[in-house]
Structure formats: structure tokens, C-alpha cells
């Protein structure tokens, strides 16, 4: 058995341990990818002397859409 998990308490322990390990691996890989991207962008777009910032104006329509879609999704998942 795996040293970080307790001893099997039932016959369901094996499949649950396997599922736990699969989720752990998937989230671990996702974490590493996100952190590498974050560090890459932090280094690439850091502030430098003599370089002016480029300012843009937001799009209210786009902001409402990308706020409403996740909100509706979360409400739907909460109701299911």
C-alpha cells in the first residue's frame, strides 16, 4: 500500500486510492504548467527602465460575458 494513505478499511479502498492518485497526478501536472506559464510571463513582461506602459480601455460587453457565463455555470452546478 502507499505509505501516505491509511490501511484499507474496506474493499472499496483500492479503487478510491487509485482515483485519489489519478486526481493528484492530474492536478500536479496542471499546477506545474500554470506556474511555468506564470513565471514565464512575469519574467518576459517585467518592468524595465525607459519602457512606457501601454494602456488599453476595457470592453464592457466582453467583461459582462466572461463574468456571466461562469456565474451561470456555477449556479447550474450548484442546483444539480
pLDDT in 10s for each residue of the chain, 80 residues = 466 767 777 778 888 888 988 999 999 999 999 999 999 999 998 888 888 888 888 889 999 999 999 999 999 999 98
Residue 13 lies inside a defined structural domain of this protein: no
Range of the domain at 34: 19-47
- Evaluate whether 29 touches 23 at the Cβ level (below 8 Å): no
- Are the beta carbons of 17 and 5 closer than 8 angstroms? yes
The pLDDT of residue 42 is 96
pTM of the complete model: 0.60
Nearest to 54 by CA among 45, 62, 63: 45
**Residue 73 domain-assigned (yes or no):** no
Name the helix (H) or strand (E) containing 28.
Answer: helix 13-44
What pLDDT score does 62 carry? 93
Q: Which residues contact 7 (CB under 8 A, 6 or more apart)?
A: 1
Domain count, the chain: 1
- Can you give the pLDDT at residue 41? 96
Amino acid at each position: 500500500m502507499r505509505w501516505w494513505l491509511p490501511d484499507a478499511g474496506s474493499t472499496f479502498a483500492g479503487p478510491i486510492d487509485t482515483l485519489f492518485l489519478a486526481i493528484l497526478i492530474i492536478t500536479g501536472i496542471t499546477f506545474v504548467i500554470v506556474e511555468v506559464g506564470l513565471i514565464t510571463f512575469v519574467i518576459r513582461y517585467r518592468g524595465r527602465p525607459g519602457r512606457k506602459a501601454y494602456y488599453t480601455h476595457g470592453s464592457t460587453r466582453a467583461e459582462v460575458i466572461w463574468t456571466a457565463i461562469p456565474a451561470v455555470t456555477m449556479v447550474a452546478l450548484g442546483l444539480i
